[in-house]
Chains A and B, each alone.
Chain A
Amino acid sequence: MLNKLNLTDLSAKLQRKEISSFELVSNCLKEIKANDQKIGAFLEVFEEDALNQAKEIDKKEKIGPLEGIPIAIKDAILVKGKRNTCGSKILENYIAAYDATAVKKLKDAGMIIIGKTNMDEFAMGSSTETSAFQKTKNPVNLEYVPGGSSGGSVASVSANFVPVSLGSDTGGSIRQPAAFCGVYGLKPTYGRVSRYGLVALASSFDCIGPFARSAEDCAWIFSAIAGNDLNDSTSSKLDTQNLIEQILPVIKGLKIGLPKECFGDGINKEVKEKVELAIKKLEKLGAHISEVSLPHSKYALAVYYILLPAEASANLARFDGVRYGFSAKAENLISNYLKTRAQGFGDEVKRRIMLGTYTLSAGYYDAYYKKAQQVRTKVVEDYKKVFEKVDLLATPTTPTTAFKFGEKADPVEMYMNDILTVSANVAGVPAISIPVGFDSKKLPVGMQLVANHFEETKLLQAAKAYETL
């Protein structure tokens, strides 16, 4: 039953030597063996490495707060010496040559990397269905998708295989799956966590963040991975020492704005009701609630679906059959490129690369790419204005609860899943999804809280206050 405990409880037990890391890791591995065949969260599990590391930690007299605790890592984040597929055939046999900075920090804190988790191919998707390898099922109800793109990471936490995991969020890929599977998912401020060693999807949006079964656990992992990194020049120089100590469950006097655009048409009635109920609870705890407006937020998804494919088409140019993993047999260089990319990429990746190539090509650049960057400015300005008035924003995380496999066959329909999460990425602000109950189909509902740049502590404080209710 150890696998069901939160990180904070496990940490206390480990530090008091009431349990050993070996027991904990063995228990998690047993659960994975027994149940992951039907869930499909993991692409690879590092049984031997994990147990050996646990044994070493158990020999120590005194251990740190994260030491000996297992964590699962999305297969887009490099773990040295381990396969990193990014859910794609093109990287099927790629072994990481170094650790991502976030992984390095977790290792330095003594955490045990237990395995790599399934994901949409190159994080392009909202259901984990575009993975070249396997489906991941929603642990709450196996007929439903876990969300995406970090579907394996969210499932590993929701199914109680591990207390915490790492995902990445470019347009909602941590928060949407967290909402679908009933766990906590934090997307930090852009630049708060180094992107070094995260396979690049869209470099001006990508963020690494944690999944957990409590706000406090999210806070622990977040403070462990945050900080400046010479290997990522966009990482923030702000101090991240003692972040965890600043996160107290205080909400009294906090001003929470409800953007009216996020509660309108297109939001499922039951989702809306649950979120409004949760907001009432925050109000009872002493938060001041008011209606606000983000007039350009309705354009954020369109901005995103121009800028993301553009950035992705450039980032994915490196997968050319010459430098990494898969290479198709071909007569000459050009046909090697053409065949490698035709055979190595799935349809969603091809679609986005072609779309990005199109919008960046001569004659269309101003109409699409530049226009989207200008509207991005309008979205950013909306947030700036609103955060002069309030501390946090609260919205539903997703317009609906989880959907079934194969239900969203049309790309644009799939993209609509990101409608409430994506504007935080467009503006680079931090946001968290908190589980706030279930709909009548017994599927989890998520509430999203959004804060101003680098104010994760406010998010986590409010989430923690809500949790302690």
Chain B
Amino acid sequence: MPDIITKAEVEKVAKLARIEITEPEKEKFAKQLTNILDYVNQLSEVNTENVSPTSQVTELNNVMRADEIEPYKDPVALVEKAPESRDGQIKVKSILG
């Protein structure tokens, strides 16, 4: 495991996460994220050969139900939560230039 996050990596990750960050923030986050990774790197001590990963803790398996459409009671109320909406649709900035 690499044990340091550089400013360039913070820049890349921030871009992937769609968060604009300033120069001083890059430096600050690089240092803080490095400290956190330093801490979590202790997991490398644990032998996990042939150990299967856990993503669900109460031993549930696929939860199935009939594939039936149930219309939501008030879809307009949900759409209206958007910053901009019109005619029951969410307004988005144009994607294709």
A-to-B contact residues, CB < 8 Å? 94-95, 97, 189-191, 204, 230, 233-234, 236, 296, 299, 302-303, 305-306, 313, 317, 320-327, 330, 332-339, 341-342, 345, 350-351, 353-355, 357-358, 361, 367-368, 370-378, 380, 410-412, 415, 426-428, 453-454
Contact = CB atoms under 8 A, between A and B. Distances in A.
Given A373-B55, A374-B51, A354 B74 contact: no
Given A337-B18, A341-B18, A302 B32 contact: no
A345 B5 CA distance: 21
Given A355-B37, A357-B13, A368-B40, 14 more contacts: A320-B18, A323-B90, A330-B93, A335-B20, A338-B19, A341-B18, A350-B21, A354-B10, A358-B13, A372-B40, A373-B54, A377-B48, A426-B57, A428-B58
B29 A354 contact: yes
B85 to A, nearest CB: 10
Cβ-closest 3 pairs across A and B: A428-B57, A373-B53, A327-B83
Contacts of B53: 370, 373-374, 376-377
Contact of A302 (B29, B39, B74): B39
Contacts of A204: 55-57
A230 B58 CA distance: 17
Contacts of A189: 58
B17 A357 contact: yes
A364 to B, nearest CB: 8
B43 interface: yes
Nearest to A295: B46
Contact of B94 (A320, A333, A410): A333
Interface in B46-97: 46, 48, 51-58, 60, 63, 65, 74, 77-78, 81-84, 90, 92-95
B36 interface: yes
B83 A357 contact: no
17 contacts: A95-B81, A299-B42, A299-B46, A321-B83, A322-B82, A326-B83, A327-B83, A342-B19, A345-B19, A350-B14, A354-B13, A358-B5, A368-B1, A371-B43, A377-B48, A377-B51, A410-B35
A339 B36 contact: no
Contact of B48 (A333, A358, A375): A375
Contact of B36 (A97, A323, A334, A411): A411
Given A326-B83, A377-B51, A341 B17 contact: yes
Given A323-B81, A367-B1, A411-B32, A234 B43 contact: no
A296 B5 CA distance: 27
Given A322-B90, A332-B93, A336-B93, A358 B33 contact: yes
Contacts of A378: 46, 48, 51
Contacts of B9: 358
Nearest to A372: B43
Interface string B1-38: 10001000110011011111100000001001101110
Contacts of B16: 357, 361
Interface of B: 1, 5, 9-10, 13-14, 16-21, 29, 32-33, 35-37, 39-46, 48, 51-58, 60, 63, 65, 74, 77-78, 81-84, 90, 92-95
Contacts of A351: 29, 32-33, 36
Given A361-B16, A453-B58, A377 B82 contact: no
Contacts of B65: 230
Nearest to B73: A98
Contacts of B57: 190, 204, 376, 380, 426-428, 453
Given A95-B81, A322-B92, A412-B39, A377 B21 contact: no
Contacts of A335: 20
A338 B11 CA distance: 12
B74 to A, nearest CB: 7
Contact of B17 (A303, A313, A370, A415): A313
Nearest to A322: B92
A351 to B, nearest CB: 6
Nearest to A232: B63
Contacts of B1: 367-368
B73 to A, nearest CB: 9
Contacts of A354: 10, 13-14, 17, 19, 29, 33
A305 B40 contact: yes
A146 B52 CA distance: 38
